[in-house]
Amino acid sequence: MTHIEQRTHQLREFASELGFQVCGFSKARRLIEEESRLESWLRDGMHGEMSYMERNFDKRLDPTLLVPGARSVVSVMCSYNQPELFRQTAARDDVPRISNYALGEDYHVVLKDKLYALFSYAEELAGATINGRVFTDSAPVLDKAWARLGGLGWIGKNSNLLNKRYGSLFFIGEMITDLEFVYDQPVADHCGSCTRCIDACPTGAIYEPYKVDGSRCISYFTIELRKEIPEEYHAAIGQWMYGCDICQDVCPWNRKAAPGTEERLRADPEITMKETHFWEELNLNEYRRLFKGKAGKRAKFEGIKRNVRIAAKNLGQ
């Protein structure tokens, strides 16, 4: 085994010890194949009011602009799947729903803690200071594209990364570094002829296989959009008060996805499957307490209350 092969094996093993289900390696380079796709998506306004997507266009495509001298992108996944609980939440059509990923501790913090530990171990393996940075949905990095190249899964028809063992119920993080590794190969697409995610999307955001209009997604409306949600989409939002899991709930790969093991990502019972009146009566102080350290704070208090009003109307409450 060469030195680089040994380093790759050891880092992958340590990633597993940290609680990452999969760790993959890809060569840092400009993502030429993603350039025209991202350009047309932005040109067609499918990012809605997410103006941050327009910034740092070149950095999104080229990790060497984020980390000068970068040779590798190390991609990791961390599952948040709680099969029994998530089956229960999907079965409750009488209460406002929060997307499952937002029910536990803020994944940005959880994954960053693990990624910093992974980075420190990479320095130990190198025996010297290395140049690099870690990210998890917090910088201009096309994380799903790098995860695909690193063999973590394939891009599904709903544009989520899918893995045969873990479905799509996981978070992605990456370490960009000047260390070299043995690089993995992308895996095959296993969506086949299935169109369940497309058929189930109530707003038509998945307008054709592998293409999503972000400006029509329920997650966009309930999280990113700061102004009032257009009335023509109110009925389609249904019971969702933060995010949306519909395309994941119907995905066959998620029905048999292995459970996650990270305790910090487990759903908080204080915000899980609460009745409509609980959210209608929520005040600012209680909101701050409940959502402290959670991803759900991104919608802000005013956004949560706006979303609850729409969900309550749809639930006839």
pLDDT, tens only, 218-238: 999 999 999 999 999 999 999
Residues 159 and 73 in one domain: yes
Residues 92 and 125 in one domain: yes
Q: Report yes or no on 188 lying in a domain.
A: no
Residue 4's pLDDT band (boundaries 50, 70, 90)?
Answer: very high
Burial class (CB in 10 A: 0-12, 13-18, 19+), 316: exposed
Residues 70 and 108 in one domain: yes
Buried b (16+ CB within 10 A) or exposed e, 56-81: eeeebbbbeebbeebbbbbbbbbbbb
Residues 218 and 89 in one domain: no
Q: Report yes or no on 145 lying in a domain.
A: yes
Residue 57's pLDDT band (boundaries 50, 70, 90)?
Answer: confident
pLDDT (0 to 100) of residue 41:
81
Q: Report yes or no on 293 lying in a domain.
A: yes
Q: What is the mean pLDDT of residues 3-24?
A: 97
Percent of the chain with pLDDT over 70: 100
Is the confidence at residue 273, as pLDDT, over 80? yes
* Listed range (50-59, 176-185, 249-258) with the worst mean pLDDT: 50-59
Residues 53 and 104 in one domain: yes
Neighbours of 312 (CB within 10 A): 17
Q: Report yes or no on 190 lying in a domain.
A: no
Residues 283 and 138 in one domain: no
DSSP H or E segment with residue 40? helix 32-43
Residues 167 and 125 in one domain: yes
Is the confidence at residue 46, as pLDDT, over 90? no
Which of 35 and 186 is assigned the larger pLDDT? 186
Residues 24 and 134 in one domain: yes
Q: Report yes or no on 187 lying in a domain.
A: no
Is the confidence at residue 39, as pLDDT, over 90? no
Choosing from 177, 206, 235, the residue where a domain stops is 177
Choosing from 115, 145, 177, the residue where a domain stops is 177
Residues 160 and 239 in one domain: no
Total domains in the chain come to 2
Q: Is 44 a catalytic residue?
A: no
Q: What is the mean pLDDT of residues 173-197?
A: 98
CA 174 to centroid of chain Cα atoms? 12
Active-site position among 62, 137, 189, 268: 137
Q: What is the pTM of this model?
A: 0.94
Q: What is the mean pLDDT of residues 66-75?
A: 97
What pairing do the DSSP bridges indicate for beta strands 161-162 and 154-155?
Answer: antiparallel
Q: Report yes or no on 93 lying in a domain.
A: yes
Range of the domain at 201: 196-255+269-314
Residues 77 and 7 in one domain: yes
Is the confidence at residue 19, as pLDDT, over 90? yes
Residues 171 and 245 in one domain: no
Q: Report yes or no on 59 lying in a domain.
A: yes
Residue 53's pLDDT band (boundaries 50, 70, 90)?
Answer: confident
